[in-house]
Structure 1
Amino acid sequence: MAANRARGQRAGLTRQAVLQAALQLVDGEGMKALSMRRLGAELGVEAMTVYHHVPNKSALLDGVIEQVVAEAVPPEFGAATWREDLSSYAYALVTALGAHPHAVPLLLSRPAMTPRNLRTMEAVVGMLHEAGFPLPRTLDILYSLTSFVVGHAAAQAGRVDGAGSIATVDPDAYPLLVGAARQAGENAADARFDFALHALLAGFEGELSDVPTVV
């Protein structure tokens, strides 16, 4: 038994440990550094050993997304109001993405339908449906919210700050734009996130008020 394990798996190595090591590698050196061979070296095993825990590179990338998203899951959806739950999830997700900026492009490019991520989506959909949203609308809300959060995180990861750039252009040619950007201040990106999230949630709430009441 020990010989078989030596050929296939290192004692104590798990899928979770592999994915955590992969995320740490991405955090430290970016996506280009992530390969099965390099990951095996980081873990002290042969590259083939990694395949016992993640079958291919695609599954590894999905697993990296899973690790990031897992950091954003509130303890229990449905414990508060749907607006509070969605707000908490949005802030937790943007914080997690901010902690792993090199992983943000992955969330823009692949759905990562791992069982763990699907359970999170199921919980959000269930919470929203219980609050009264029609079942198809729950997915509209989930995707709208996550697209907004990931887009904001991508801009921050790329150090793209429209207001910061606008503040440096010619104020004589664009007085209103420059004035607005300068008045926004240093924390414009955070304030903009708060504003947009509030607007999204208010829009969702308006949608809920239009749902016919079933007698």
Structure 2
Amino acid sequence: MTKMSRERVLDAALELVDQVGVGGLSMRKLGAALGVEAMTLYYYVPNKDAVLDGLVERVMTRAFAIDPRAGWQHLLRDFAVSLRRELLRHPGVLHLVATRPVTTPDAMRMLEAGVTVLREAGFGLREAFHVMNTVAMFTTGHCLAEVDPPGGTPPRVPEVAPEEFPNIAEAIQAGLGTPEDHQARFDLALDTLVEGFALVARREIPAG
């Protein structure tokens, strides 16, 4: 039997949330999934809020790594791509990542490392935080539009009259909303974001 630890509790919580959503998560259910009483969990996580914060940490830190040989643009692209991959794997935590701030030490170390790289590249302190937050928010929002949370009802494709909405009808016919379309939109927006940040780094446009 694997030894109980905070990491094991969070991994089990992540698996449970993927099945039942955040609304279905309880310490009792989490304990049952691990084969222990709910009270046992409090040796490893102080309360349910700590579990939720830990889930945000789990997804964010798995998506973030610094390659010392690469520049800040590679860091942002890799972070966005990796975060999207993790969020699509774990749609149950999407709303958590979208609404809960980074608060755990491991998650804050990730943010600190990213801001350090950006400041070394010439971004100001506030700009560096804005850049990191913008990439995370863009990626999370994109994923919210891509997948349905556990227990949700998949949206239906609207019926569109071609004579009234010719462009929309043509786009739907061409595959608007397919996984391939989501990928293309994500790539286009990410490229545009990173190129815009490069202008800020060179001070060709005001940072605001």
Under TM normalisation by the shorter chain, which class is it?
0.7 to 0.9
> How big is the shift at 1:112?
3.4
Using the size of structure 2 for normalisation, the TM-score is 0.87
Amino acid at match of 2:51: L
Match of 1:113 in 2: 103
Equivalent position of 1:176 in the other structure: 167
The aligned counterpart of 1:61 is 52
Which consecutive residues of structure 2, in runs of 5 or more, have no partner in the other structure?
none
Task: Tell me the distance in 2 between the aligned counterparts of 1:51 and 1:178.
Answer: 54
Q: Deviations over 1:73-130 (max 9, x none)?
A: 22x2443021111101100000000000111011122113110100000111011111
Contact 1:65 1:112 in 2 (8 A): yes
The question of whether the paired residues in 2 share the 8 Å contact of 1:40 and 1:46 is answered with yes
Which of the residues 81, 86, 98 maps onto 1:96? 86
- Please give the residue correspondences for 1:1-215 in structure 2 after superposition, counting only pairs within 5 Å: 12-74=3-65, 76-158=66-148, 165=157, 168-183=159-174, 186=178, 187-210=180-203
- Where in structure 1 do 4 or more consecutive aligned residues deviate above 3 Å? 159-162, 180-186
Report the CA distance between 1:183 and its aligned residue: 4.1
CA 1:184–1:195 in structure 2 vs 1: closer, same or farther (change >3 Å)? farther
Q: Deviations over 1:5-56 (max 9, x none)?
A: xxxxx99211111111111111122223311111111112211110111111
RMSD over aligned Cα atoms: 2.5
Contact 1:63–1:112 (CA<8 Å) still a contact in 2?
A: no
CA distance in 2: counterparts of 1:202 and 1:161, whole angstroms: 34
State the aligned residue count: 200
Length-normalised TM-score, structure 1: 0.84
List runs of 5+ in structure 1 lacking aligned partners.
1-9
Specify the SS of the correspondent of 2:182: helix
Identity among equivalent positions (%) equals 38
- Assess if the C-alpha contact under 8 Å between 1:78 and 1:127 holds in 2: no
